[in-house]
Amino acid sequence: MKKKSLQSKRIRIGSALLVVAAMGLAACGGSSSSDTTDGGSDTTEPAAESGNLADALGYTDNLLPDVKCSIASVLAMTGPGAFYGKTMGRAIDMAIEDISAAGGPTFDNTVWDHKSGDPAAGATAITEIVAKGITIKLASYVDDLGAMFAGTTKGKVFTLDGGGGTSVFGKGIPFFWGTRAITPNDTLTGVFEWFKQTYPDKKTVGLLGWELGSLNQIIKDDVLKEIKAAGLEFNGLYELNAVGAVDFSQSITKIKANQPDLLVVSVYGQDPGLFANQASTAGLTSVLVGSEFTPDGVKASKGTWENGWTFAYDYFDINTATSPIATYFLSQFRAKYGEDPDFYAANFYENTIRLWELMREAADSGVTADKLCLGVTLEAALQADLTMVSLYGGDSTTNGASTQDAVTHSVKERPMGVFTYKDGKVTNLASFGIGGAGFEMAG
């Protein structure tokens, strides 16, 4: 396959799409904060953009209209993380519709429910997926907390996980690719630099996270390494709670007895909102920095987040999403659902259109149509060219791009930052990349 440069993937567009981009900029505004309602949007519903997805991507030929593929998605359709399944599923469905409407292939998506991080459900799902002969998969919860890895590898099921990425325990798994930054680990260098500049007299760090059994030590070792590298002090507090916990009273008692200056809150879904509410009631004084911000968390916080919730990750900021593909996505999502998309919707739309991108590259390299829907084909296409189109980054005339690491299968570059949600608005406090690259305080 012909190797493409990063710049060649950042498609330059013509004057017709410049109009589309300008419309998107007007809709998004240019401020450093975004207005939200319960973590959603107060944006009135606009009409969809003119043009189609192929135009936004710069595709003029090799659209593969006669190709029909069966794919799988394994999402949290039930349980405390059902919010994720809803937002991810809507984005996948919309991307499939947009690809077809643009003259691209037809994707038949079958959804499996991992029940919000139940490894047994994930193990059942991958067994059934392989039995059905499906070898392309969109995944979440780090392929259901690792339970699907073995089946994914053995069945050669090409997988993109835009929900949890690879985490530190899923790096290098054959056919499994994490397409988002690892939280909290990838963010910590930037978070600690922001913390040191904002609170120069504070030094100690603790963590609240999910209980993941045998995976705990792998994550902890990496977190402790990051604390030490930043010149901060681990205060010994490393509290773990069950996925989907609703009562954090025991952890809060331990935190109150040994409060760190900074508490990294690395739980997800409704959990961070519930914890923040209970922590506020208990009078915790640690600076809290979460790993996520969702409408579900806002609701679970019962108003606590309105007083301020600081978080750090590769948040999809609609105010900086100005590329042709990002503005097209924003317009389509708002027109279809009447609200702004969140981070997970952006990631799963992005990953779905990437399937089309990889299939086109495979076809360009001579792969015949009957083999374009095979996991081994997409795996080979990605290994040959590790850069894919992205809704993140770029500018009004150039689409963003993201590059995977050939060894870890995680992302090598990803825009991230520290943000605060307060009184219905998200404000950027600091920006940086993986490993704190290009760190810059806002304002």
Shared domain check, 203 and 172? no
Q: What is the pLDDT of residue 214?
A: 86
**pLDDT per position as a tens digit, 137-165:** 999 999 899 999 999 999 999 999 999 99
Q: What is the pLDDT of residue 319?
A: 87
Residue 226 lies in a domain: yes
Under a CB-based contact definition with an 8 Å cutoff, are residues 393 and 416 in contact?
no
Range of the domain at 138: 6-38+45-181+319-403
Residue 140 lies in a domain: yes
Under a CB-based contact definition with an 8 Å cutoff, are residues 345 and 91 in contact?
yes
Shared domain check, 302 and 352? no
Q: What is the pLDDT of residue 443?
A: 80
Shared domain check, 137 and 85? yes
Shared domain check, 170 and 68? yes
Give how many domains the chain has, as a whole number: 2
Q: What is the pLDDT of residue 31?
A: 33
Residue 411 lies in a domain: no
Shared domain check, 165 and 234? no
Shared domain check, 277 and 353? no
Grade residue 49 by pLDDT with cuts at 50, 70 and 90.
Answer: low
Residue 410 lies in a domain: no
Under a CB-based contact definition with an 8 Å cutoff, are residues 96 and 109 in contact?
yes
Q: Round to whole Å and give the CA distance between 13 and 24.
A: 15
Quote the percentage of the chain above a pLDDT of 70.
89
- Of 3-17, 279-293, 402-416, 421-435, the least confident: 3-17
- In this predicted structure, the answer to whether residue 15 has a pLDDT above a threshold of 80 is no
Grade residue 87 by pLDDT with cuts at 50, 70 and 90.
Answer: very high
**pLDDT per position as a tens digit, 392-405:** 999 999 999 999 99
Rounded to an integer, the average pLDDT of 338-359 is: 97
* Nearest CA among 112, 150, 108 for reference residue 355: 108
Q: What is the pLDDT of residue 215?
A: 86
Measured over the CA atoms of residue 138, residue 417, residue 116 and residue 307, the dihedral's sign is: negative
The residue whose two tokens read 């399944």 is 85
Under a CB-based contact definition with an 8 Å cutoff, are residues 342 and 269 in contact?
no
Residue 279 lies in a domain: yes
Shared domain check, 221 and 346? no
- In this predicted structure, the answer to whether residue 32 has a pLDDT above a threshold of 60 is no
Residue 122 lies in a domain: yes
Shared domain check, 329 and 305? no
Shared domain check, 18 and 82? yes
Shared domain check, 324 and 392? yes
- In this predicted structure, the answer to whether residue 42 has a pLDDT above a threshold of 50 is no
- In this predicted structure, the answer to whether residue 19 has a pLDDT above a threshold of 60 is no
Q: Round to whole Å and give the CA distance between 201 and 180.
A: 32
Q: What is the pLDDT of residue 50?
A: 56
Grade residue 340 by pLDDT with cuts at 50, 70 and 90.
Answer: very high
- In this predicted structure, the answer to whether residue 357 has a pLDDT above a threshold of 70 is yes
Under a CB-based contact definition with an 8 Å cutoff, are residues 170 and 146 in contact?
yes
- In this predicted structure, the answer to whether residue 170 has a pLDDT above a threshold of 60 is yes
Residue 15 lies in a domain: yes
Mean pLDDT across the chain: 90
Residue 408 lies in a domain: no
Q: Is the peptide bond preceding residue 184 cis, with omega within 30 degrees of 0?
A: yes
Q: Round to whole Å and give the CA distance between 161 and 288.
A: 27
Tokens of 280: 């506020």
Grade residue 48 by pLDDT with cuts at 50, 70 and 90.
Answer: low
- In this predicted structure, the answer to whether residue 133 has a pLDDT above a threshold of 70 is yes
Shared domain check, 193 and 113? no
Under a CB-based contact definition with an 8 Å cutoff, are residues 311 and 342 in contact?
no
Return all residues near 73 (Cβ < 8 A) that are at least 6 apart: 88, 89, 92, 109, 110, 111, 112, 137, 138, 139
Higher pLDDT among residues 81 and 206, named by residue: 206
- In this predicted structure, the answer to whether residue 7 has a pLDDT above a threshold of 90 is no
Shared domain check, 71 and 219? no
Specify the CATH number for the domain of residue 146. Answer: 3.40.50.2300
- In this predicted structure, the answer to whether residue 122 has a pLDDT above a threshold of 90 is yes
**pLDDT per position as a tens digit, 207-259:** 999 999 988 999 999 999 999 999 999 999 999 999 889 999 999 999 999 99
Rounded to an integer, the average pLDDT of 291-299 is: 93
